[in-house]
Structure 1
Amino acid sequence: MNFWSLSKAKNKEGKIAIVTGANAGIGFETTKGFAKIGIITIMACRNLEKAKKAKDEILKIYPNARLDIIPIDLAELSSVKEFAKTFKKKYDSLDILVNNAGVMMTPLQKTSDGLEYQMATNYFGHFLLTGLLIPVLEKSFRSRVVNLSSIAHKWGDIHFDNLNAEKGYNPRKFYAQSKLACLIFAYHLDRKLVNKNYNIHAYVAHPGVSKTNLMQHLPKFFKFLSPILMPLLSQSAKRGALPILRASLDDTLNGGEYIGPSGKKQYKGHPVIVDSDYHSKDEEKAERLWKVSENLVGFNYL
């Protein structure tokens, strides 16, 4: 089978992209992929020191890469608004928005906005960011929003009565909820954009089981077994970034597709169109989540 690869991305030089969490893991490899084919990439990062090191590392490989760093903390809505304002002052269009930044199974934390930390970072911050950037995305031809989900989206559901850990907290369940929310958001966003005749499409991708720093909060027993299990089940961050790169760059996609690894249980493999669970396709749930999200971030769009 002739699988998709970065070499198939044509005529992308000079396009403008934003990658959140661009300094490490999947975000870093996505940024590096964009740099290779001449895309102007804004590295949207919380830690500016790490972002600068990542930028320098990419420039050593691709000296002509056009990279810009703009600070953002996805867990803080005020920071998301400030990022969007800064971006729009510097750039008048946007071709690709990659909503990549994320945390995984962290201890219970609440943001200054009263949001649970995983939901805020993985989902709510990106929901707001996307809405704020719709006007600049609309100025480009067939621009794209790419959300990152996870095979973990199958572990749970959206618990509207406990979205922000008002009634208890389980790190695993809240991670699953956040990644299911990202998937529901992508599908529903694409439907809304099509219905309103916007020149934008939304996609969603997941990296399978990839070796990144997201693993730091996993249970101790898994960390103990990881030297044995990880080589069997996982792939490199570079390989894990391929579904995100395909969702961002493949001109044969129509909009609304979910891209993930081709292998068993979608743990690793080539980037192909994959399926998601029934919760992610529930349009009533999607509409309810959208309205709740608008209320919680204080911004309405589409």
Structure 2
Amino acid sequence: MAEQKGRTFVVTGATSGLGLVTARELAAHGGRVLLAVRDAARGEEVASSLRRAYPGAEVEVRQIDLLNLNSIRRAAEQIGAEESVDVLVNNAGISMVEHSVTALGAERHLAANHLGHFALTALLEPALRRSPAPRVVTVTSYMHEKGELDLDDVAWSRKYSPIAAYSASKLANAVFAVELARREQSSSSPITSILAHPGYSNTPMQSKGTGITGIAMRVLGRLFAQSPEMGALPQLFAATEPDLAGGSYIGPDGRGGRSGHPIPVQPSAAAQDPELGRRLWERSQQLTGIGWHTPES
């Protein structure tokens, strides 16, 4: 990774797992890193540890709850009032939670993993466009390939499965990133939208499941998953490699895309479906009440 001095990065979910590794490496290479996290106290602990490890590192905390639109608006206003944002890394995520519906009327996985990031990205758009080379990195999962989006039942009011809901939310991440890239093609000041996935990585998400499924996830994670340091490489590559085209998808180069070093890969056909992209975009605007403006060419 080249030196990142003079560039400002916003990383959601930066207190553990892939987000922590991403923030650490960006700070170690001279980037100014804003830790966009739900637990501000934990964020300050991480920021302090990074400053100790890398004297002179610019690391600050911005509190945000991706399930709360008011919190997202406050965080975006605070960040946007400072200066430009060069790279937004939409990394935070939840998995394997019991069925619940948020104030937006959406199931919790979809609300946290996609809708929160959709709103944050839209609200940070002006700050991103002030950068000479703005970029949005959205972190998905290889599980998006198994996901199905029912935009007429975002609350999952019928049959619910935590794995299916998580996979659907990761498909939403992928569809959003590709659709953003598609829309930015006609922009006079384009934001480069990149998609990344970590393969099979042993992160705190592996400990979230309950019952037999949870036990299996934890055991398999310890035995077969790669480290968070390896898992973060695709999103670090996506955030810092200068010549990536909008719509690129970065994942591990190992067998089945489960482990290894970052290379360009292909998202699922559903992720690239322009009609699904249009419908998800419109539904996301409807649910959040937040729109997106793309400058004319």
SS at structure 2 position matched to 1:301 = coil
Amino acid at match of 1:250: E
How far 1:76 sits from its partner (Å)? 1.0
**Counterpart in 1 of 2:191?**
200
Taking the aligned partners of 2:106 and 2:148, their CA distance within structure 1 comes to: 18
How far 1:124 sits from its partner (Å)? 0.2
**Counterpart in 2 of 1:82?**
74
**Counterpart in 2 of 1:234?**
225
Taking the aligned partners of 2:216 and 2:171, their CA distance within structure 1 comes to: 27
Taking the aligned partners of 1:52 and 1:196, their CA distance within structure 2 comes to: 37
Taking the aligned partners of 1:97 and 1:15, their CA distance within structure 2 comes to: 11
Taking the aligned partners of 1:59 and 1:157, their CA distance within structure 2 comes to: 42
The TM-score with structure 2 as length reference comes to 0.94
**Counterpart in 2 of 1:40?**
32
The TM-score with structure 1 as length reference comes to 0.93
**Counterpart in 2 of 1:144?**
135
Instruction: Mark the runs of 5 or more structure 1 residues left unpaired by the alignment.
Output: 1-5
Q: Which runs of 4+ in 1 moved over 6 A?
A: none
| Contact kept? 2:209, 2:215, Cα under 8 Å | no
How far 1:246 sits from its partner (Å)? 0.3
Distance 1:260 1:293, change over 3 A: same
SS at structure 2 position matched to 1:259 = strand
- Counterpart of 2:290 (choices 281, 285, 299) is 299
Taking the aligned partners of 1:236 and 1:220, their CA distance within structure 2 comes to: 24
Taking the aligned partners of 1:156 and 1:107, their CA distance within structure 2 comes to: 17
Q: Please give the root-mean-square deviation of Cα atoms over the aligned residues, in Å.
A: 1.5
State the percentage of identical aligned residues.
34
| Contact kept? 2:104, 2:111, Cα under 8 Å | no
SS at structure 1 position matched to 2:263 = strand
Tell me the matched-pair count: 293
- Counterpart of 2:234 (choices 243, 246, 251) is 243
Distance 1:74 1:227, change over 3 A: closer
How far 1:221 sits from its partner (Å)? 3.1
Cα deviation 1:36-66 (Å, max 9, x = unaligned)? 1111111000011211121122222112110
| Contact kept? 1:243, 1:261, Cα under 8 Å | yes
Taking the aligned partners of 2:269 and 2:214, their CA distance within structure 1 comes to: 31
**Counterpart in 2 of 1:123?**
114
